[in-house]
Structure 1
Amino acid sequence: MRSPELAATVPPKACASAPAPAADSARAGWRTPLELTVLGAIWGGSFLFMRESSKHFGAVPLVEMRLGLGALILLPFLWKARESFRGANIWAKLALIGTINSAVPFVLFAWASQRAPAGVGAITNSMAVLFTALVGFLFFGEKIGMQRAIALLIGFAGVVVLASGKTAGASIGWAVAAGCAAAFLYGIGANLVRRQLTGLPAAAVAAATLGCSALLTLPFAIANWPEHSIPVNAWVSASMLGVLCTGIAFVMYYRLIQRIGAGRAVAVTYLVPLFGMAFGWIRLHEPVTLTMLIAATLILGSVAMSQRAAK
């Protein structure tokens, strides 16, 4: 990834050896879909890792591990931009946004993962795109338009269908409600980041918010740390959740945004539920029910409609 400033300083000899424009175009043609697919698989896998580890750790201790490991991976970005993060006011904002955008949603998804298949959490996560538009309309005076309003209604219909379903005879309504509440908090967080942290490097902001969230969550994690022994596979899943699905995935996402723009990078939203359901089915033998498929179709269709209207 090269910034305009760096590109301007490349010596003539290096420029002469650069690949031809046609080669650059061909490489870009497959690079973006590949990276979006990999990122969708990683974030879809996060619901599998939560499903495998939350029953052993509990929701809050698992989230503490996720936040801490993710913050450590992103720490170099924060250190590089440390001069932009001076003053108590900015850190108060980071702590508040970290709580809304990371700590509480992560706990809600971890809690839901103890009660519903991995695919259910992945599907409700997709509602974040719609909730971002809804929060902007309700609290920040943004116009929503008829097409996006219809998209929201379709998305909510998908949530109702999903909540009405059962897995192994047990209702998953509360897990769906927790996932939707987490997605709604993501919508609030996205609007706050856009308005309160403008001009700050995105990866550094992610590191700061994750770090603040980890510190705020730590006392609750210690108080709720399990007394029983935790199996190795749960430790591996929790570590993957923090290192791969939070730290490394955030780096990949922000690089994508810088290269192709946020409007195109958000296309990863459509892939997360597909991988979440597939991994749950392959690894944990969790059924992909008809209600899950109908709900995923309605929600992802509404997200696509909302994105077209926004453009």
Structure 2
Amino acid sequence: MLLCLAAVWGGSFFFAEIALREVPPMTITLHRVFWALPLLFILIRLRRLSLPRDPQIWLGYLGMGALNNAIPFSLIFWAQQQIDSGVASILNGTTAMFGAVVAGLLLKDEPLTRNKIAGAVIGLAGVAVIMGPDAIAGLNPGNLAQFAVILGAVSYAFASVWGKVMLAGQPPMMNAFGMICGTILLMIPVVLLVDGVPSVSLSLPVWGALWGIAALSTVFAYVLYFAILIRAGAANLMLVTLLIPPFAIGLGALFLGEVIAPAAWIGFAIIAVGFAVTDGRIFSRFNRS
């Protein structure tokens, strides 16, 4: 399930890169959830699921819409105007590290440990390698874009905890539907204020990218997302962000001609080591053997 989720989420960086040719970032976020909504509605009707009536559950959906969609989608899509999709996906891999630390701070059944703190430090070192020594000295648009992706990763980390606390008892498909409803409610006024009324006069490749990001990277992805969250917990779910970059980089290289600098690969390797330390299971197996 994690591999499937990594593949469709890796594709979201590729689809966004194409859509950005004609559509502004926040409008892409609205397209992504707007076209996903009817598809999810069909799925919940086929499953004969009833809409929840508890206001607290809908508050949970609104919070998930903000933390897991509206904020990170908009930040990452904006960032992709400045940096390649592969670099964005690598920085998004810090979600695994942030997810473990945030879960450790906020969830009693996933306590904060020395491994999580050490892993966070190592992961941040990986981010520093990717961004380079001039990142702090000179805040150019490219550096700001990388910071934006990291902020999106932090938002994803809080979303995983929010979802586990507020929505763990709900069916995964209903959670995905409710979250999308919350995102649309948040994004419509923002898009109208910032970008104006969305245009429908788009090229066929851009429409294809928007439908791909809605059907595959949103509908199918979030059904998997909530199913994994319930079965494996918030920290384990964040493993997916370490699996996304190979898919995103492969698609970007194959179809968009993107080339990832060696520093980015080194930084990604350091981030992966950081999460391995945070998670701890790999090293415990070596110790047992």
Name the TM-score, length of structure 1 as normaliser: 0.78
Indicate which of 179, 188, 195 corresponds to 2:165: 195
Aligned-pair CA distance for 1:202: 2.1
1:117 aligns with 2:84: yes
> Counterpart in 2 of 1:47?
13
Amino acid at match of 2:118: I
Aligned-pair CA distance for 1:247: 0.6
Aligned-pair CA distance for 1:254: 4.7
Cα distance in 1 for residues equivalent to 2:35 and 2:20: 16
Matches within 5 A, 1:113-192: 113-139=80-106, 143-164=111-132, 172-192=142-162
Amino acid at match of 2:75: L
Cα distance in 2 for residues equivalent to 1:196 and 1:256: 15
> Counterpart in 1 of 2:41?
75
> Counterpart in 1 of 2:271?
299
Amino acid at match of 1:88: P
Deviations, residues 156-180 of structure 1 (Å, cap 9, x unaligned) = 11111122289xxx86311211111
Cα distance in 2 for residues equivalent to 1:209 and 1:36: 20
Cα distance in 2 for residues equivalent to 1:123 and 1:144: 24
Aligned-pair CA distance for 1:253: 4.4
1:247 aligns with 2:229: no
Identity score, percent: 25
Deviations, residues 253-311 of structure 1 (Å, cap 9, x unaligned) = 455667x7457765433321111112111111111101110111111222233223599
Cα distance in 2 for residues equivalent to 1:264 and 1:273: 17
Deviations, residues 164-197 of structure 1 (Å, cap 9, x unaligned) = 289xxx8631121111101101111111111122
Amino acid at match of 2:114: M
Q: Quick check: 2:124–2:271 contact (8 Å CA) kept in 1?
A: yes
Amino acid at match of 1:118: S
Q: Quick check: 1:132–1:184 contact (8 Å CA) kept in 2?
A: yes
Q: Structure 2 stretches of 5 or more lacking a match? A: 135-139, 285-289
- Structure 1 residues 305, 69: CA separation in 2 closer, same or farther (over 3 Å shift)? farther
> Counterpart in 1 of 2:246?
274
Matched length:
272
Aligned-pair CA distance for 1:153: 0.7
Deviations, residues 80-122 of structure 1 (Å, cap 9, x unaligned) = 3325x11333222321221122111111111111111011121
Aligned-pair CA distance for 1:43: 1.4
Could you say what the CA RMSD is over the residues aligned between the two structures, in angstroms? 2.8
Aligned-pair CA distance for 1:213: 0.6
Amino acid at match of 2:202: I
> Counterpart in 1 of 2:187?
217
1:234 aligns with 2:234: no
Aligned-pair CA distance for 1:64: 0.5
Secondary structure at the aligned position of 1:271 is classed as: helix
Q: Quick check: 2:125–2:270 contact (8 Å CA) kept in 1?
A: yes
Aligned-pair CA distance for 1:209: 0.8
Matches within 5 A, 1:70-109: 70-76=36-42, 78-79=44-45, 80-82=48-50, 85-109=52-76
Higher Rg of the two aligned structures: 1
Amino acid at match of 1:73: L
Q: Quick check: 1:253–1:265 contact (8 Å CA) kept in 2?
A: yes
Cα distance in 1 for residues equivalent to 2:118 and 2:64: 29
Name the TM-score, length of structure 2 as normaliser: 0.83
Amino acid at match of 1:56: E
- Structure 1 residues 309, 150: CA separation in 2 closer, same or farther (over 3 Å shift)? farther
Cα distance in 2 for residues equivalent to 1:279 and 1:145: 37
Amino acid at match of 2:185: L
Secondary structure at the aligned position of 1:199 is classed as: coil
Cα distance in 2 for residues equivalent to 1:90 and 1:36: 26
1:58 aligns with 2:14: no
Aligned-pair CA distance for 1:250: 2.3
- Structure 1 residues 144, 190: CA separation in 2 closer, same or farther (over 3 Å shift)? same
- Structure 1 residues 208, 163: CA separation in 2 closer, same or farther (over 3 Å shift)? same
Cα distance in 2 for residues equivalent to 1:271 and 1:164: 23
Cα distance in 1 for residues equivalent to 2:126 and 2:211: 32
